[in-house]
Structure 1
């Protein structure tokens, strides 16, 4: 499993270098594991702008400029919130890629009944033809830390896919 993780991250690093991309993260339930997984490869630091751990709504508002209305209208585990987190991270850094997530790692479901292991992700990309945001929700099995690690690796594994969508959309115009 470690070899699979290492090859996925090394492929991502090669992809980011080839496309001259710099990443930031806005992490809630993974608490910094996304950026930590990327940084686990020696020499990857030049691809990282920053990594924000924003657990509370107040931290999300303070560091990512999330409007209070988002919290009133949507769950803390929602694609809407993860998209706003990714956009806020992109707008507040020098990065060209922002990866964000929010979810329920456990040990108990949320107050609104969202099951343990549910994670909402967003990827925001700054390109020559504007910003692009993609989101998805996944559910992972395992204990709290297994969910967090699986979510972090999933977030990284989808970067090149969604960035490729941006590039395809640019050439289709």
Structure 2
């Protein structure tokens, strides 16, 4: 199953544009999409916000959210995805975000491989609906990053369908 190709096909068939807001995957999601011929029709913008200041400054993630829930949290992932869609120059209808730990975090924290995701969808009237989940992946650092990027793309259509089934 070619997940990036399926995601591009799904997005282009519906005339949707995608924004990515990535931390742990550091651009891997956008890279996978852009590897598919014709992806220019559906990829709008990608943000790599590895640091807390980047998350806050570029995506509007609130400091309180990061302090209260931690960087590896669905709450932060949700604010990242919603923040991407709210950027003035962003014309995407869909945003996917990722934040997590690929290997052991210094000083404890979430288990290695813990990844938090969010998928935000903007309707024609401007309403944004967001879904999120946490998943744990096994393997070496870059195996976790690749698995997380593929997983993020694999759920774009699923949550789109849920969004419009409501």
Are 2:125 and 1:124 equivalent residues in the alignment? Answer: no
Q: CA RMSD in A?
A: 1.2
Structure 2 residue corresponding to 1:72, chosen from 67, 70, 89 = 67
1:111 CA displacement: 3.0
Q: Which has the higher helix share?
A: 1
1:95 corresponds in structure 2 to 92
Matched with 1:162 is: 159
Aligned residue pairs, count: 163
The two structures have a TM-score, normalised by structure 2, of 0.94
In 1, distance between residues paired with 2:6 and 2:66?
A: 36
Q: After superposition, what is the alpha-carbon deviation per residue over 1:68-104, rounded to whole angstroms, capped at 9, x for unaligned?
A: 1112211110000000000000111111011001000
Match of 2:80 in 1: 85
Q: 2: CA distance between counterparts of 1:132 and 1:58?
A: 25
Q: Distance in 1 between matches of 2:65 and 2:150?
A: 27
Find the residue that maps to 2:122 and give its secondary structure.
strand
SS of the equivalent of 1:150 reads helix
